[in-house]
Amino acid sequence: MQSIPLSTTDSISNGADGTQVRLKGWVEEIRDLGGISFLLIRDGYGTIQVTVIRKSAPAAVTEPMKGLSRESVVQIIAVVRKSEKARKGVELIPSELKVISRAQTPLPMGVVDKVDVEVDTRFDNRFMDLRRSEQSFIFRVRAELTRFLRQKLAEMRFVEVSTPKIVSEGAEGGATLFNVDYFGRKAYLAQSPQLYKQMLMASGLNRVYEIAPVYRAEPSDTVRHVTEYVSFDAELAFIDSMEDVMATLETLMVHAIENTAGKLGGEGEALGFHLNGELKRPFPRLDFPECIDMLRSAGRKTESAEDIDTEGEKVIGSIMRDKGYDMYFITGFPSATKPFYIMEREGTPYSNSFDLEYRGMEMASGGQREHRYSELTRRMEEKNLNPHGFEFYLKAFRYGMPPHGGWGESMERIVQQFLSLGNIREAILFPRDRARIVP
């Protein structure tokens, strides 16, 4: 019997009526109704009903069913039968049932139970939480978004790179860096691949990207911040202006979101997710002073003239959604609030910088970089950074650095907003924040 190919629940249809199949999965539910029992088997691709008529079922089925617990892993060999009453229009009539791995009882949490589970219980038992269809769906969406991003990046001649995650200096200062003892020397976990991306702009790899973890030692306890997340970073050389960078990012976001919604939208609706893949283009470019005026007009009288806080982002997001835009750029932030590598707008207190916003939440931060060595070192000194400590980075700017720009973007925030998740931790398999370092 083992020569029967392994089937999956989604591949078994009523067109297979009368055929024999072999299936492995978890026992989701067991219902005993006198002389008949029903098992629901789940294999990560769906669920299917197994019907056991005890009077006629062989001992190879009835004996293993004794004491069978929910979430045990089983293998069944069965015949497919059409059934109007069954969920998929088919049921399986088993000739053999083998318990591969028996689940202990009680379960640490329910999988299909109607009772709500505390979020800490879910994350403590993430392996079981992900057996729930709505939870595993989140990560299938994330995988498709990433796949479509890579697909478009390849078309646009980007090269995927990997940069160090143990570094000697931080790209944005030391306040949010994790210290590492590197064989007796001080080092840090990378908060961004920024410095390495820029160095590569002097290498001839004119367009690079990286999708990899970064680390922020921020003492934040919010629904949009975590300590470790996956950043989608890219850098482009030989740009004419910051507009080249924004146009590239816009193209990528539209491609990834539209295609993911097209592929998984129907399945998402069945699970309670609405995947809106329609992004009105072009994304508006809202200059920073314009945003401050919008906020003050909306009653935000105390809004800072130097930055836009979380609540301010939400207000602007609401205004833009009323105009039909889910995504838009805020451009030209004050130079004083931006890292040393962002180019200033000459003769103004503003910078060639942008944030990509998605329904009132910052997704990406980027801009045109300062490629002129003298201006770059001046900016470092203004930010109280010692250029000598960045010699490994500055060397690339002394031997022909082209104009360039790029961005860093949180993959988790894209998923969070795309699926309207209440907490960014829902978009992370094993989230890390101030309180959680296991599992």
148 with 198, same domain: the answer is: yes
pLDDT at residue 303 is higher than 70: no
CA-to-CA dists, residue 408 to 1, 334, 362, 367, angstroms = 53, 18, 11, 10
What digits encode the pLDDT tens for the residues 29-57?
Answer: 999 998 999 999 999 999 999 999 989 99
pLDDT on residue 1: 47
Residue 114: pLDDT band (50, 70, 90) is confident
**CATH label of the domain that carries residue 40:** 2.40.50.140
Domain annotation covers residue 157? yes
93 with 144, same domain: the answer is: no
Domain annotation covers residue 182? yes
| Cβ–Cβ < 8 Å for 382, 344 | no
- The active-site residue, picked from 22, 224, 300, 372, is 224
Percent of the chain with pLDDT over 70: 98
85 with 189, same domain: the answer is: no
pLDDT at residue 160 is higher than 50: yes
pLDDT at residue 206 is higher than 60: yes
Q: Average pLDDT in the 289-316 region?
A: 88
282 with 385, same domain: the answer is: yes
Domain boundary residue, one of 101, 124, 157: 101
178 with 315, same domain: the answer is: yes
Domain boundary residue, one of 78, 101, 124: 101
Domain annotation covers residue 195? yes
| Cβ–Cβ < 8 Å for 129, 123 | yes
- Distance separating alpha carbons of residues 49 and 356, to the nearest angstrom: 46
- The active-site residue, picked from 42, 369, 413, 425, is 413
Domain annotation covers residue 109? no
Active site residue 365: yes
Q: Average pLDDT in the 295-322 region?
A: 89
pLDDT at residue 74 is higher than 80: yes
pLDDT on residue 388: 92
pLDDT at residue 302 is higher than 70: no
- Distance separating alpha carbons of residues 273 and 307, to the nearest angstrom: 33
How do strand 20-33 and strand 36-42 relate by DSSP bridges? antiparallel
What digits encode the pLDDT tens for the residues 78-88?
Answer: 999 999 888 88
197 with 321, same domain: the answer is: yes
Domain span holding position 10: 6-101
Active site residue 216: yes
419 with 370, same domain: the answer is: yes
154 with 270, same domain: the answer is: yes
- The active-site residue, picked from 142, 216, 369, 379, is 216
**CATH label of the domain that carries residue 184:** 3.30.930.10
Q: Average pLDDT in the 260-288 region?
A: 97
Active site residue 126: no
Domain annotation covers residue 110? no
- The active-site residue, picked from 28, 29, 218, 267, is 218
Domain annotation covers residue 379? yes
Domain annotation covers residue 314? yes
CA-to-CA dists, residue 70 to 30, 73, 113, angstroms = 7, 9, 12
Active site residue 321: no
- The active-site residue, picked from 169, 258, 362, 375, is 362
- The active-site residue, picked from 365, 404, 410, 425, is 365
pTM, to two decimals: 0.94
Active site residue 224: yes
Mean pLDDT of the chain: 95
Domain boundary residue, one of 81, 101, 121: 101
Active site residue 362: yes
54 with 164, same domain: the answer is: no
Q: Average pLDDT in the 224-252 region?
A: 98
Domain annotation covers residue 117? no
What 62-65 contacts at long range (C-beta under 8 Å, 24+ apart), as own/partner pairs, is 64/97, 64/98, 64/99, 65/37, 65/97
**159-173, 232-246, 270-284: lowest mean pLDDT where?**
159-173
- Distance separating alpha carbons of residues 275 and 258, to the nearest angstrom: 9
147 with 77, same domain: the answer is: no
pLDDT at residue 420 is higher than 60: yes
Residue 280: pLDDT band (50, 70, 90) is very high
Residue 144: pLDDT band (50, 70, 90) is very high
| Cβ–Cβ < 8 Å for 46, 90 | no
State the total domains in the chain: 2
**261-265, 276-280, 298-302: lowest mean pLDDT where?**
298-302
- The active-site residue, picked from 122, 132, 225, 255, is 225
96 with 154, same domain: the answer is: no
195 with 94, same domain: the answer is: no
